[in-house]
Structure 1
């Protein structure tokens, strides 16, 4: 049993032994299960993903705790819930985005949401969200986030058949990251590109 699986077992045991009407213990468990599913390339149960999306999308504001959990869980939302999250994320994080690492987490969630929309074929929605996200200060202040959105936009172009233009933009993004000595991020972007465009 891995450390994460051990944590999941303990979290599940806690829920069984001391049931609570509050959602946090279950969200903690789902967060751990999401991390495991991501590492093992498996799916989260419908029950867990539905519980989590209902919880997060019912909130007016996302606090630090919520962002910490959501960055692991959002990849497992249904397409409809991902779309709902995409249009409300920045409004939900406006107040608390400057606390701790919140801005970084908002950025990660935003980029994950766009990638998921592309992966599920919601290309026009993804393109619209990219335009909206570029206007957000959290994104515009981050060179790597802007480059990621540039690549995600190019991935949409590639999927829609504009492969030559898309490849040019992709290569420019990777070259820029390497020029900035962000080699690890460049590697991550290459993996993302191959995943979305199915070019490898």
Structure 2
């Protein structure tokens, strides 16, 4: 997989976590420790779900039926559409950190990574390349979350930024899905 394609996937997947981190970062009661924990949780689950999805997709393709690129592209586009839809339904509410909420937030912003792993990353034959790719996705998410916490103190209108993060991520995934379906 080409680096720029992987980078764009990683950034698109991390935008949900970025938006949540921006929202949480505006709450003055959130400590630096909680910010780091949330960033790590989001990064870890992006990695974990991407690699689980890739292995599930590989097993599915090997033992059940091969998923053509058109179906994979359609699934990626559908995930993008859901991200845009989620942005339309967003109320701009800030999520407060509570015990266990860090894990819930990490999982909730990372579910789409499993679909990307299942449809896009399952064709990486070399296990080392797959591990590097999924770790890269997790690392980009971790960095994006830390960056969101850094700039959150400078942003006044978080609901606008969070809303656009979902749109941007969704549009990027829709474009990737179309590319997978029609431009190999």
Per the normalisation by structure 1, the TM-score is 0.24
Q: Larger C-alpha radius of gyration, 1 or 2?
A: 1
> TM-score, normalised to structure 2's length?
0.25
